[in-house]
A and B are shown apart, each in its own frame.
Chain A
């Protein structure tokens, strides 16, 4: 009987000792939170709360591991970079969409913005400004492009959970255009299309040798006056030296249709001109005239520095090259007026839009820097990589806040069981 009581007392001692030991362990752990944390981790959703904790503990964590399913905000990213600068080894892992946004002004009197978003193939890209969602598209290839007539403030492109933000950094000064051509429907309707789109157009239209119909002061071709010069046919050859000098000084030149055939434009053009292919030769179907059914003077023997912009089957329809500081676009579409007059219901606006886009692609437009907007983050993944290095294969910190909380619960349970067991044993044998 004595041995039984003695064994029970030993057990009670053991339970009491265990309770004291657990209490001691819990006390050590709670003190250790402020003294000796070596590795911490968090996921995207907890990052905002975790950063102040990691920053305010007395000794900086040796390792900070974060697992991201979206890019951190610039504030969070900078905070992590600061922790890294303070000596912590900051690592990140996860699947952050590789997206970026760029905003450019459209060189057009109507203004507008071109927004280009880099995004993974087939990802949904949602574009919004400070007033709300503007549009959403599915990325094809390496991203998506938007033309936005007007936007308010910072533009945001969301791809998955990642938001890229950018604002227009500069605006452009729009100057006049000069159209040079023979009297004919092409001259008339190119001038009309550009004027309808808001361009101020000077025209030098040759009606007879030595006789022209001029609109505006066309004597001097200078980049201080003109954003671009459009040469519609060989009538511009007489001014080819002026036009080449204008291009060298930064001006934009379009050599349209048969204009590039003139030898005087050999220096400027993107390539030589081939034999004209008519609509029937292109095996186009009957019906309203479109850009694709127009006669084409193909560009052949492209210069090494020329870039093909548009092709029709195997033929190069449009190409561009730099000429010193200027840009030259050569296209082989002849008689685009037929598209406007004989095309479908929207042919007038399509013809107008096509011409203004062509002009915008070469136009000389001095930039005016706009006030800087700070709340931008044009390429979050690139910025994250620059700040913290590339992603690691996986979250490398083990344990972490969650596991510590869990172990405290286990210790508390063990403490409770020990104390209740020891107390119950004593009461059952009649000892207080």
Chain B
């Protein structure tokens, strides 16, 4: 068995978990492109209600619709985080007045703890690429879509000194949802922050 990193998208019952289908391939491409991490060429989508999810210590969740865990999903994600895993949740609406954000806040508070702002000098922003100003802004924020805000911080639930739940209102799911081959048209690869999230999860 080869011990490689497999990018995992979590499937949850309440919403549209697969709203950003090319994000996994794009991030896998970036990890392979910039790092020496042994990464599987294809991601996996695993149901949060299955204990199989515990084989994937980093789980990516996104969507536009109401975000609720079933009891089995709640139990498994809580176990995953308690045992040292990390969940990255991104609001695909980029709207803090939207239904995803509101229900996600409630669900995260119920399952883990209330979110709090992550300082912009946290190791997440320097563990591979440097982001001196904190989380990079997305084109959706800069274009005034969604809630018309540029969110200065990501939010987290900590487990000890490490991040257990990372929550983004910045809509990286839209920002990174394109075919990896199209990176060649960008002056700066906007998935680099995704690499940092993966490197952080793998090393801290």
Question: Which residues of A come within 8 Å of B, CB atoms?
Answer: 182-189, 192, 203, 205-209, 211, 213, 257, 276, 278, 295, 334-335, 337-338, 340-342, 347-348
Contact = CB atoms under 8 A, between A and B. Distances in A.
Contacts of A347: 83
A340 B55 CA distance: 10
B203 A207 contact: yes
Contacts of A276: 1
Interface string B37-49: 1100000000000
A208 B34 contact: yes
A207 B83 CA distance: 23
A337 B57 contact: yes
B202 A184 contact: yes
Nearest to B127: A213
Nearest to B36: A208
Contacts of A340: 83-84
Contacts of B204: 188
A192 B199 contact: no
B3 interface: yes
Contacts of B82: 348
B166 to A, nearest CB: 15
B5 interface: yes
B107 interface: no
B202 A183 contact: yes
Determine the main DSSP class of A at the interface with B. Answer: mixed
A213 B35 CA distance: 12
Given A207-B37, A207-B199, A213-B127, A341 B57 contact: yes
Interface string B3-28: 11100000000000000000000000
A346 to B, nearest CB: 11
Interface residues of B, number: 26
B164 interface: no
A295 B5 CA distance: 16
A330 B54 CA distance: 27
Contact of A341 (B5, B36, B54): B54
A184 B36 contact: no
Closest 9 CB pairs of A and B: A208-B36, A208-B35, A183-B202, A213-B203, A342-B54, A295-B1, A341-B54, A205-B203, A335-B3
B80 interface: yes
B36 A209 contact: yes
A287 to B, nearest CB: 10
B128 interface: yes
B147 interface: no
A207 B126 CA distance: 13
Nearest to B5: A184
Interface string B68-86: 0000000000001011110
Contacts of A338: 55
Contacts of B36: 182-183, 206-209, 211
Given A207-B36, A341-B55, A185 B83 contact: no
Contacts of B38: 182, 184
B54 A207 contact: no
A185 B202 contact: yes
The residue in B3, B36, B51 that gathers the most chain A C-beta atoms within 10 A of its C-beta is: B3
Contact of A186 (B3, B80, B201): B3
Given A207-B35, A341-B83, A187 B202 contact: yes
25 contacts: A183-B35, A183-B36, A184-B3, A184-B5, A184-B37, A184-B202, A185-B5, A185-B202, A186-B3, A188-B201, A189-B57, A192-B84, A205-B203, A207-B36, A207-B128, A208-B35, A211-B36, A213-B127, A213-B203, A295-B1, A341-B54, A341-B55, A341-B57, A342-B54, A348-B84
A342 B34 contact: no
B193 to A, nearest CB: 15
A398 B4 CA distance: 81
Given A188-B201, A211-B35, A211-B128, 16 more contacts: A182-B37, A183-B35, A183-B36, A183-B199, A184-B3, A186-B3, A187-B202, A188-B84, A188-B202, A189-B84, A205-B203, A208-B37, A211-B36, A295-B1, A338-B55, A341-B85
A341 B35 contact: no
Given A276-B1, A278-B1, A335-B1, A342 B202 contact: no
Contact of B37 (A183, A189, A203, A295): A183
Contacts of A182: 36-38
Contacts of A206: 36
Nearest to B4: A184
Contact of B51 (A184, A334, A342): A342
B199 A341 contact: no
Contacts of B203: 183, 187-188, 203, 205, 207, 213
B192 to A, nearest CB: 13
Contacts of B51: 342
Contacts of B3: 184-186, 257, 334-335
Given A206-B36, A337-B57, A213 B199 contact: yes
Nearest to A351: B83
A257 B3 CA distance: 11
A276 B2 CA distance: 10
Nearest to A193: B84
Contacts of B1: 276, 278, 295, 334-335
